[in-house]
Amino acid sequence: MSIEFSKELTAHETPIPGVVLYDLPVHGDNRGWFKENWQREKMVALGLPDFRPVQNNISFNEKAGTTRGIHAEPWDKFISVATGRIFGAWVDLREGPSFGAVFTAEMNPSQAIFIPRGVGNAFQTLEDNTAYTYLVNDHWSADAQGQYTFLNLADETAAIGWPVPLEEAELSNKDKAHPRLADVVPMPAKKILVVGADGQLGKALREQYDGDATVEFAGRAGFDLGSEASFAERNWKNYSTIINAAAYTAVDAAETAEGRAAAWAVNVAAVARLARTAVDHDLTLVHVSSDYVFDGARESHNETEPFTPLGVYGQTKAAGDAVVSVVPRHYIVRTSWVIGEGNNFVRTMASLAGRGIEPSVVNDQIGRLSFTLDIAAGIRHLLESQADYGTYNLSNDGDGQSWADIAGDVYELVGEPRSAVTGVSTEEYFKGKDVAPRPLHSILDLTKIKGSGFAPRPARVALEEYVGQHVMVE
């Protein structure tokens, strides 16, 4: 198998998900040859994950028949041959439906292969003086070896057809002792970490991911966003994603000296720590934003509208969004008028209706409710569909309503007349009160999230279900 010169850079999918074989352009003349073994811009454009290698390793093998593996490491690898030829064998040792899938190929310097974390790698040299090179995206350490997953080279299930029979090949004693496939404990998937998991959205995410062992939940007691130690103590190599469900949402209290400091600490300083962590460890960061980043002057807000926050809360949310936007892999999920488990506007109106109170409710702020179950489902959709990174508006669907309209709906749903609700202007309602300014228009344009394949429920449908499940039974 001689080197083929001047091939085009080409990607070839394999039976193992994420394992991709590449043809590399090799340029040769009477002096020898030259190749671009790793060229980030070209290869990422071709679909290779931007896996950010940090270490380059070379395995030199003096004799043909030298055989190494099968080792699955807790990092991604980009492998090629520097000189000589190899027979490569790769076995999927990750948890999931492709566990045990096998791919083999003969490679010379004009090929390379990308091997994701958890896929077992092995090779057998076909020529003397063969050098096998690895680019990896984590630093090797003795501690990391404890996270390896191994498979015996002679496993009967994988049934790899080694060109040089293993009894004639050069193997290490350690490789001879590796387990058969039936005894292999699959490498677990990287985890999603939900911080702020005890709040309204955190509880909905717990319900959304109920029974999924790959999702870990941490409330303030389990992960203090204000503590540098919480960040330093966690092994981020075991995670793929952080979902930030924590926020300071006391809109009026944020206008006080104490509240202002707390809002900036939670909504900006803590978010900056999360963003720094995501950048350092190549994680996806999901962050929840708010309609309060806008002044409400427009009747509908899309994802490209510039920030125009009116009060401290909105200012801190806008600052948090700006911080998260610099993370290469991020989703900013912008919501409005959030309703979930716990005290909220719907429960308050139902309680007033049950006590026969006829409230005055603001009728000139227009928006849509965002139920936490739908926000959680939307977040899961973005992650699992691998939608383009960026900002997505996510509320429930339907026509815009005022708070007075929604209050009337709640009164009707609990069996009271909507005429019991009196509409008043924001100015009249808050007259004489020291409160934060509110945007008058909070409708979020849902075109982008719908284009990603997610269809939020109509707000009326979600409200009826919420009242039936959370209010009528209390």
Do 10-183 and 191-471 share a fold? Answer: no
- pLDDT for 317 equals 98
Whether the per-residue pLDDT at 473 is higher than 70: the answer is: no
3-state secondary structure of 158: coil
Give the pLDDT confidence score for residue 55 in this predicted structure.
94
In this prediction, residue 5 carries a pLDDT of: 77
Give percent above pLDDT 90 in the chain: 90
Cα gap 29→395, rounded to integer Å: 62
Q: What percent of the chain has pLDDT over 70?
A: 98
pLDDT at 7: 81
Question: Terminal CA-to-CA distance of the chain, rounded, Å?
Answer: 75
Cα 146 from Cα 410, distance rounded (Å): 56
CA distance 157 to 173: 21
Element (H, E) at 387: none
Domain boundaries, the chain: 10-183, 191-471
Query: Comparing C-alpha atoms, which of 325, 250, 340, 304 is closest to residue 444?
Result: 304
Q: How confident is the model at residue 145 (pLDDT cuts 50, 70, 90)?
A: low
Compare 143 and 161 and report the one with higher pLDDT.
161
pLDDT at 247: 96
Dist. CA 465–CA 474, nearest whole Å: 14
Each residue's pLDDT tens digit, 46-104: 999 888 899 999 999 999 999 999 999 999 999 999 999 999 999 999 999 999 999 99
Q: What is the mean pLDDT of residues 365-378?
A: 98
Asked if the peptide bond before residue 242 counts as cis, ω within 30 degrees of 0, the response is: no
- Tokens representing residue 102 in the block: 């096998």
Distance CA 111, CA 234 (A): 37
Give catalytic residues, as residue numbers: 71, 134
Sign, CA dihedral 356-360-363-367, equals negative
**Distance from C-alpha of 440 to C-alpha of 387, rounded to nearest angstrom:** 31
**In one letter, which amino acid is 172?**
S
Cβ 19 vs Cβ 90: under 8 Å: yes
Per CATH, the homologous superfamily of domain 191-471 is NAD(P)-binding Rossmann-like Domain (3.40.50.720)
Q: Using 50, 70 and 90 to split pLDDT, how confident is the model at 147?
A: confident
131: exposed, middle or buried (Cβ count in 10 Å: 0-12, 13-18, 19+) = middle
Distance in angstroms (rounded) separating the CA atoms of residues 273 and 320: 11
Strand pairing class (111-115; 20-23): antiparallel
Put residue 420 in one of left, alpha, beta given phi > 0 → left and psi -120 to 50 → alpha: alpha
Position 455 scores a pLDDT of 96
Strands (E), 280-402: 284-290, 300-301, 330-335, 338-339, 360-362, 366-367, 370-371, 390-393, 401-402
The CATH code that applies to domain 10-183 is 2.60.120.10
CA contacts within 13 A on the Cβ side of 255: 10
What pLDDT, on the 0 to 100 scale, is given for residue 42?
93
Rounded (5°) CA angle 282-336-318: 50
Q: Around Cβ 298, how many Cβ atoms within 10 Å? A: 14
pTM (global) more than 0.85: yes
Give the type of residue at 470: H
Tens digit of each residue's pLDDT (9 = 90 or more) over 170-208? 999 999 999 999 999 999 999 999 999 999 999 999 999
Residue 140 pLDDT level (bands cut at 50, 70, 90)? confident
Tell the residue number behind the tokens 């010379």, with chain if given. 108
| Residues 397, 446: Cα–Cα separation, whole Å | 8
Mean pLDDT of the chain: 94
Worst-scoring range by mean pLDDT, 27-41, 159-173, 341-355, 361-375? 27-41
Residues 6 or more apart in contact with residue 32 via CB below 8 angstroms? none
Q: Is 1 a residue whose pLDDT tops 70?
A: no
